[in-house]
Amino acid sequence: MTRPVTRWPVAVLGATGAVGQAFIRLLEGHPWFDLVEVAASERSAGKRYASATRWLEGTLPSAVAELEVLACTPDKVKAPIVFSALDSSVAGEVEAAFAGAGRLVLSNAKNYRMESDVPLVIPEVNGDHLALLTQQRANRGWPGGIVTNANCAVTVAAMALAPLHHAFGVRKVFITTLQAVSGAGYPGVPSLDILGNVIPYIGDEEPKIETELAKLLGTYDGEMIVPAPIVTSAHANRVAVEHGHTVCLSVAFERAPTPEEALATLQTWTGFAAVQGLPSAPVPPLIVRDEQDRPQARRDVNAGNGMAVTIGRVRADNLFDLRLVALSHNVVRGAAGGSILNAELLVATGQLDGLTAS
């Protein structure tokens, strides 16, 4: 594992929003990364960060509070590593500009996830897919690059399914999501729409779940990702929970495991070897509960500092082979923390060698 001699300077784009704030919280005191720049929309540019944002959780780090908010352009933001919390309506053009200017962009937006030469990565699941960066740079002429996070609900499902897929071959997945209101950003869903209610629709969510899972669980053949032969049917629901996406999965396999075999596989899984020991990597990545009523968002969302996935109710299924429930923190593992872990893996595997600030 390559450990940096000095801390890498990093920036956050979209720093005033909920995910941008999560980046700031998670980067405070990080052993490998030093947050030196924050950027946001033109209406915030030029202001002190503390004046430009409404801070949502915990205490705003004093050093960040005094930073000037920059415009989201590579001539203003100089850090070589850029964490993007930009909305998809603007992320595509902005992130490409940074990659073209030689920066490594860790993106939470959907824009590039399904591009054939862009890594869609959950480090424990498919850390080897980062090798696509070489192909991406050759195809696009970018000296930098873009690495994307998965959708926050897909992240939970993929973490739970990865060890089972490797052992038994997932073929069909029926998934129902119960997604926290923080997944809608801030101010998000109006209180009179969500309190005492379940909203059985989240825009664009079901197609993301149904397409991203096959890419995440696919294999890198040295040139491209060969998607896993998985058919997914998804129902996405918004529920009155602050943090924590719960997914209920019914799964059909090439070789059906017993619940006992599945439990043993989940309990012993450690994921992609190079992830072990990284600063943000949870140990273990999967926490398997045997109580009949777990996982629960209130009790399990912060497991592994918000980076672990908690799994329970592993049992036989009447339609398919197996069913289970999984949960994780949508803003930490499913967004900012996932991007930071991607960046740590890039550092640890030497894939940022030669990247410098302009």
- Is residue 165 annotated as part of the catalytic site, yes or no? no
Helix axes 259-268, 152-168, angle to 10 degrees: 110
Q: Can you tell me whether residue 138 is helix, strand or coil? A: helix
Active-site residue, 30 included: no
Which residue is it, tokens 């053949």?
221
Query: 151 phi and psi, to 5 degrees?
Result: -50, 145
Q: Which of 129, 165, 243, 245 is catalytic?
A: 245
Which 3 state secondary structure label does DSSP give 68?
strand
Structure tokens at 10: 């990093």
What confidence tens digit (pLDDT) does each residue in 33-80 have? 999 999 999 999 999 999 999 999 999 999 999 999 999 999 999 999
Selecting among 129, 152, 165, 243, the annotated active-site residue is 152
Q: What H or E segment, with its residue span, contains residue 203?
A: none
Task: Report how far residue 309's alpha carbon sits from residue 122's, in angstroms, rounded to the nearest whole number.
Answer: 12
H-assigned helices in the chain: 18-27, 49-52, 62-65, 88-100, 123-126, 132-140, 152-168, 191-194, 205-216, 259-268, 297-300, 337-348
Residue 157 in tokens: 């499902």
The secondary structure of residue 336, as a DSSP letter, is: I
Strand partners, 83: 12, 106
Predicted local confidence at residue 6, as pLDDT: 84
- pLDDT for 323: 98
Q: Which residues of the chain have pLDDT under 70?
A: 1-2, 5, 356-358
Q: What is the pLDDT of residue 353?
A: 79
Q: Beta partners for 311?
A: 288, 326
Give the span between the Cα atoms of 74 and 142, in whole angstroms: 13
C-alpha of 21 from chain center: 15
Residues 6 or more apart whose CB falls under 8 angstroms from that of 196 comprise 240
